[in-house]
């Protein structure tokens, strides 16, 4: 038997065995067999590549982008533990750029420049899971990208015009900031879930008393990136979503048990979708009905349902929550239940008013496969749910699922396509807007196993592209990805407009302008060394292929700040500034200014500085001498 067919059999056996169980408990398929299987699908030891059979020619949309041809969509991928955001072209799946966010990056100097250091505050790693763009009137407005840091409870914002981070905010009283989602009716609040429950306040009290732990649903102002309020709830929160009207935000709660071990967290057959009533919360905040914890205004909504928070019971350890493009339904993926729960949003007001029970708002619960995680939409009434354990994408019809829930006999399941392997997030072109267009679906697979040449113990992930314009879903591209994208959004290219040269409008420039004013210099033309005790500030221009200064002198151990302004006014004419043997490099784009501060070597001598980004035929000659005097 070939390795492929052996693996296929093993897959079939596990999947068939697991499907018999409606709910999955600890020690059954997910707890033991299936997950263990997914981790050990390959034989131990070394592997040799064995290619899958050549697929039949694809009959749907054009996938390949020929040389020089542009993609129709931008894909914004989170970078997981790499701490970054990545930009891909869709459908070619070509990686176009990485935006460093919470990570230190050598190429651009992010995390080393003065501005990025100020934003990062010394925390140089991050875990980005969820990347979402700002909205106006239910669709992307092309202004900002928001992304979470799960490691250190932060939210960052990228200005789309520059594709650079312009703000980072710390989220207090939170650990494991995971799901985030901006409001969709306007650029308003960005809601952020803390996944891990902690004592409140977390100051050494109640450390070993989980009954006292709580989690925060936090609202950050998407314009100012300031903390507005927090709502404290008893259960943990995983994924986040907002409606299209500004009334509600949502959080899945997989640990309503309040457990601290795996077994405890998986005990209950029903957990919750938390529904947050944003107007009631805002009214309480405005009326001062909050408590203060570490400077945050906190609405305490623990325990029972209230005007602030309602708990819709859904099976079991739910993960993703996604809102249909028409704004009518929240689709909650069951994770440990092979179902998605469809919650009708316009029934929530009656449930808040006590006229119906929260569970009455669940209007469908189709069986979609084992381990449903996330759902995308085509804007034509169909949903596409990623199924982790079965390694499939399931296409299902929402109206048929609702009819089935009322007793109808037609199956809502329209198609299932194998993906390779263990798909986490999925998303589709414009899926999270009212303009969902049903063109391209991606499956972000956590394991790639035999799909690529072996590259050592850590395999790439496999971001697969699926054509969703035909009756049958068809995988049309394997996209190896470095660890570890969780989520992505796919955005029509006409929405994204970026600068070719810097417009100098970010906060960063106010900082340089203040320094220039203090030093009495013209930032765009002055080349000057200004000494202030042990501190030396070097103002320098760059214009291909020369720096404005061929040499400067400092003393051993000086604190040296170099501020470089790239006065070239030409698209893609970027320079770098690197100082040999000083762990110092930064990128300076056209018409941009960047600054970096370092300590001059304790060893007197000559240290060359040079342009590290290829800019000109005489790029190698673009350098100068830093003399470090005793």
**Chain positions contacting ligand CUA, by CB under 6 A:** 544-545, 575, 611, 613-616, 619, 622
Using CB under 6 A as the binding rule, whether residue 319 contacts ligand CUK is answered as: yes
The mark string for 600-629 relative to ligand CUK (x by CB under 6 A, - otherwise) is ------------------------------
Least spacing, CB of residue 546 vs ligand CUA, in Å: 8
CB-facing half-sphere around the CA of 240: CA atoms within 13 A? 29
- Cα torsion 184, 187, 193, 199: sign: negative
544 binding partner (options ligand CUA, ligand CUK, none; Cβ < 5 to 8 Å by kind): ligand CUA
> 287: Cβ–Cβ under 8 A, 6 or more apart, which residues?
none
- Contact map string, positions 365 to 394, toward ligand CUK, x by CB under 6 A: --------xx--------------------
Q: Assign 508 to helix, strand or coil.
A: helix
Closest alpha carbon to 468 in 194, 102, 90, 201: 90
To ligand CUA, the closest distance from the beta carbon of 84 in angstroms equals 24
**Distance, CA of 456 to CA of 625 (rounded, Å):** 42
Alpha-carbon span 314 to 489, nearest angstrom = 26
CB of 486 to ligand CUK, least distance (A): 4
Instruction: Give the whole-angstrom CA distance, residue 427 versus residue 429.
Output: 7
387 binds, among ligand CUK, ligand CUA, none (CB under 5 to 8 A by kind): none
154 makes contact with ligand CUK (CB under 6 A) = no
Residue ranges of E strands in 150-236: 154-159, 164-170, 175-182, 189-196, 198-199, 213-221, 227-233
Name the binder of 239 from ligand CUK, ligand CUA, none, CB < 5-8 A by kind. Answer: ligand CUK
In the complex, what is the shortest distance from the CB of residue 393 to ligand CUK, in angstroms, rounded to a whole number? Answer: 14
Cβ pair 466, 378 in contact under 8 A: no
DSSP 72: S
Pick 159 or 217: Cβ nearer ligand CUK? 217
Residue 146 has phi, psi (to 5 degrees) of -110, 145
Which 8-state DSSP code applies to residue 339? B
**Residues in 460-499 at the binding interface with ligand CUK, rule: CB under 6 A:** 486-487
The answer to the question of residue 420 lying near ligand CUK (CB under 6 A) is no
217 forms beta bridges with 193, 231
Alpha carbon separation from 156 to 111, 216, 485 (Å, rounded): 14, 18, 16
- Rank residues 16 and 617 by Cβ distance to ligand CUA and give the closer one: 617
Q: How many CB atoms lie within 10 A of CB 150?
A: 23
Nearest to 527 by CA among 502, 493, 562: 562
Residues binding ligand CUK: number (CB under 6 A)? 11
The Cα–Cα gap between 114 and 594 comes to 8
Build a one-symbol-per-residue string for 10-49: x at contacts with ligand CUK by CB under 6 A, - elsewhere.
----------------------------------------
Here the tokens at position 552 are 């400067």
Of 367 and 484, which has the nearer Cβ to ligand CUK? 484
> CB of 173: closest distance to ligand CUK in angstroms?
20
Closest approach of Cβ 123 to ligand CUK, in Å?
A: 19
Binding partner of residue 614 among ligand CUK, ligand CUA, none, CB under 5 to 8 Å per kind? Answer: ligand CUA
Contact 72, 93 (CB under 8 A): no
335 binds, among ligand CUK, ligand CUA, none (CB under 5 to 8 A by kind): none
- Is the Cβ of residue 225 or residue 570 nearer to ligand CUA in the bound state? 570
For residue 255, give both structure tokens.
């640990």
Minimum gap (Å) between residue 425 Cβ and ligand CUK: 5
With binding defined as CB under 6 A, does residue 79 bind ligand CUK?
no
Angle at 587 (CA atoms; ends 584, 590), nearest 5 degrees: 150
d(CA 194, CA 191): 10
In the set 425, 439, 492, 575, which binds ligand CUK (CB under 6 A)? 425
- Which tokens is 336 given? 């440990």
**Residue 129 binds what, of ligand CUK, ligand CUA, none (CB under 5 to 8 Å, by partner type)?**
ligand CUK
Cα–chain-centroid distance for residue 505? 25
**Does residue 184 bind ligand CUK (CB under 6 A)?**
no
d(CA 173, CA 175): 7
Residue 619's binding partner among ligand CUA, ligand CUK, none (Cβ under 5 to 8 angstroms by kind) is ligand CUA
In the complex, minimum distance from the CB of residue 565 to ligand CUA, in angstroms, rounded to a whole number? 13
In this chain, which of 98, 154, 159, 178 binds ligand CUK, going by CB under 6 A? 178
- 93, two tokens: 């799946």
129 contacts ligand CUK (rule: CB under 6 A):
yes
Residue 102 or 610 having the CB closest to ligand CUK: 102
CA distances from 307 to 301, 348, 381 (A): 9, 11, 31
Element (H, E) at 77: strand 73-78
Binding mask 217-256 for ligand CUK (x = CB under 6 A): ----------------------x-----------------
Q: How far is the CB of 570 from ligand CUA (least distance, A)?
A: 12
Residue 236 Cβ vs ligand CUK, minimum distance, rounded to whole Å: 13
Q: Classify the phi-psi angles of 593: left when phi > 0, otherwise alpha if psi is within -120 to 50, otherwise beta.
A: beta
Q: Pick from ligand CUA, ligand CUK, none: which does 395 bind, CB < 5 to 8 A by kind?
A: none
Residue closest to ligand CUK when measured from CB atoms: 424
DSSP letter at 619?
G
Nearer to ligand CUK, 311 or 425 (CB): 425
| Residue 190 C-beta: closest distance to ligand CUK, Å | 15
Report the nearest approach of ligand CUA to the CB of residue 603 (Å).
27
192 vs 231: CA distance, rounded Å: 10
At its nearest, how many Å lie between ligand CUK and the CB of residue 178? Answer: 6
Q: Which is nearer to ligand CUK, 129 or 416 (CB)?
A: 129
Of 245, 244, 77, the residue nearest 158 (C-alpha): 77
Which residues in this chain contact ligand CUK in the complex, by CB under 6 A?
129-130, 178, 239, 319, 373-374, 424-425, 486-487
């Amino acid at each position: 038997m070939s390795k492929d067919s052996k693996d296929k059999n093993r897959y079939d056996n596990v999947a068939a065995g697991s499907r018999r169980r409606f709910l999955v408990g600890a020690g059954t398929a997910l707890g033991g067999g299936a997950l263990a299987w997914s981790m050990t699908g390959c034989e131990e030891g070394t592997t040799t590549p064995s290619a899958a059979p050549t697929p039949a020619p694809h009959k749907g949309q054009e996938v390949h982008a020929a040389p020089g041809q542009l993609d129709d969509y931008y894909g914004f991928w989170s970078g997981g533990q790499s701490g970054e955001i990545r930009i891909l072209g869709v459908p070619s799946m070509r990686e176009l750029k990485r935006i460093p966010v919470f990570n230190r990056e050598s190429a651009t100097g992010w995390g080393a420049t003065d501005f990025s250091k100020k934003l990062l505050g010394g925390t140089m790693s991050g875990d980005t899971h969820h990347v979402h763009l700002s909205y106006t009137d239910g669709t992307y407005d092309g202004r900002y990208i928001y992304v979470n840091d799960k490691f250190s409870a932060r939210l960052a914002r990228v200005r789309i015009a520059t594709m650079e981070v312009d703000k980072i905010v710390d989220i207090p009283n939170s650990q494991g900031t995971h799901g985030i989602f901006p409001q969709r009716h306007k650029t308003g609040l960005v809601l952020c879930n803390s996944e891990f429950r902690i004592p409140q306040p977390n100051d050494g009290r109640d450390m070993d008393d989980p009954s006292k732990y709580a989690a925060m649903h936090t609202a950050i102002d998407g314009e100012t990136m300031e903390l507005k309020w927090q709502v404290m709830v008893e259960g943990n929160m995983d994924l986040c979503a907002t409606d299209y009207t500004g009334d509600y935000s949502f959080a899945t709660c997989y640990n309503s048990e309040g457990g601290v071990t795996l077994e405890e967290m998986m005990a209950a057959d029903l957990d919750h979708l938390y529904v947050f009533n944003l107007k009631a919360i805002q009214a309480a905040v405005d009326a001062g009905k909050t408590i203060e914890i570490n400077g945050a205004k906190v609405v305490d909504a623990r325990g029972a349902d209230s005007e602030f928070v309602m708990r819709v019971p859904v099976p079991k350890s739910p993960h993703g929550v996604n809102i249909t493009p028409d704004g009518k339904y929240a689709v909650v993926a069951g994770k440990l239940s092979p179902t998605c729960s469809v919650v009708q949003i316009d029934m929530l007001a009656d449930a808040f008013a006590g006229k119906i029970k929260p569970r009455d708002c669940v209007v469908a619960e189709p069986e979609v496969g084992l381990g449903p995680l996330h759902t995308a939409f085509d804007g034509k009434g169909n949903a596409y749910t990623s199924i982790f354990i079965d390694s499939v994408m399931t296409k299902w019809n929402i109206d048929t699922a609702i009819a089935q829930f009322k007793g109808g006999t037609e199956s809502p399941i329209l198609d299932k396509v194998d993906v390779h392997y263990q798909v986490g997030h999925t998303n589709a072109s414009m899926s999270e807007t009212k303009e969902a267009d049903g063109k391209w679906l991606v499956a972000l697979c956590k394991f790639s196993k035999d799909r690529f040449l072996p590259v050592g113990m850590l395999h790439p992930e496999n971001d697969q592209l699926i054509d969703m314009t035909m009756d049958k879903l068809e995988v049309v591209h394997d996209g190896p990805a470095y660890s570890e994208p969780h989520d992505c959004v796919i955005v029509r290219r006409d929405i994204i407009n970026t600068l070719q040269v810097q417009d100098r409008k970010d906060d960063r420039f106010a900082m340089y302008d203040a320094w220039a004013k203090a030093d009495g210099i013209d930032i765009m033309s002055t080349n000057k060394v200004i000494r202030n005790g042990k501190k030396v500030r070097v103002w320098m221009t760059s214009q291909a292929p020369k720096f404005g200064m061929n040499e400067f002198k400092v003393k051993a151990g000086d604190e040296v700040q170099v501020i470089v302004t790239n006065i070239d006014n030409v698209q893609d004419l970027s320079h770098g500034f690197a100082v040999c043997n000083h762990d110092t490099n930064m990128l300076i784009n056209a018409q941009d200014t960047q600054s970096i501060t370092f300590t001059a070597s304790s060893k007197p001598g000559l240290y060359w500085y040079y342009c590290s980004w290829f800019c000109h035929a005489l790029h190698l000659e673009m350098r100068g001498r830093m003399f470090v005097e005793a």
